[in-house]
Amino acid sequence: MPLPPLPDAAINLHAGAGDWRGAVRLAGDALTEGGFTTEAYADRMIEVIEEFGAYVVIAPGLALAHARPGPDVLRSGIAVVTLAEPVVFGHPHNDPVNVLIGLAVTGTEEHVTTVAELANVFNNADSIPALAAAPTAERVREILGARAAE
């Protein structure tokens, strides 16, 4: 089961974020540009971190930005943002972050295949530095094993 399609519009490489909120907002922008969410979803991803802390930083250098399903999710998908300068989220072990995966799902069950596939990719410890260094959207899709369109 491959990842959902990852169009160029949902990939933003070597971007400038300033701080963690800026970085999560870039992930939200990429999800919106990719046609997966409305702009409101970025605010909800930020609220999750404000409420529960930096637990979304699930591995060194990597944040999985996400929120619950909601009316602002148009279809399930992922977005990829890499940062020119890493930002600190406040995680005790995994800061700083230079790769963000934005995840949007329409239902709580259907995310399971997507996250299982993400787990496959990132169980290879080389994937995070490879994404951070990826020069093109095509290279990002190659690392993730994702296609550009259906």
Partner 1 sequence: MMHIVAICGAGVGTSGILKVNAERALARLGREATVTASDAASVQTAAADAQIILTSPELVHAIGKTYAEIIVVNNYFDLDELAEKLEEALS
Q: How far apart are CA 19 and CA 123, in angstroms?
A: 27
61 Rama sector, left if φ>0, alpha if ψ -120 to 50, beta otherwise = left
- Shortest distance, position 92 Cβ to partner 1, whole Å: 5
**Quick one: 54 or 133, whose CB is closer to partner 1?**
54
Which tokens go with 115? 């996250």
Instruction: Write the interaction track for partner 1 spanning residues 57-96; mark x where CB under 8 A is met and - where it is not.
Output: -xxx---x-xxxx--------------------xxxxx--
Residue of 2, 39, 85, 116 that binds partner 1 (CB under 8 A): 116
Q: How far is the CB of 109 from partner 1 (least distance, A)?
A: 9
CA 121 vs CA 89, 104, 126: distances in Å: 23, 18, 9
3-class DSSP state of 16:
coil
Residue 144 binding partner 1, by CB under 8 A: no
- What is the contact mask toward partner 1 in residues 4 to 43, using x (rule: CB under 8 A)? ----------------------------------------
Instruction: List the structure tokens of 139.
Output: 């290279």
Closest to 97 measured CA to CA, from 20, 150, 37, 40: 20
- Give the binding site for partner 1 (CB under 8 A): 48-49, 51-56, 58-60, 64, 66-69, 90-94, 103, 105, 108, 111-112, 115-116, 118-119, 122-123, 125
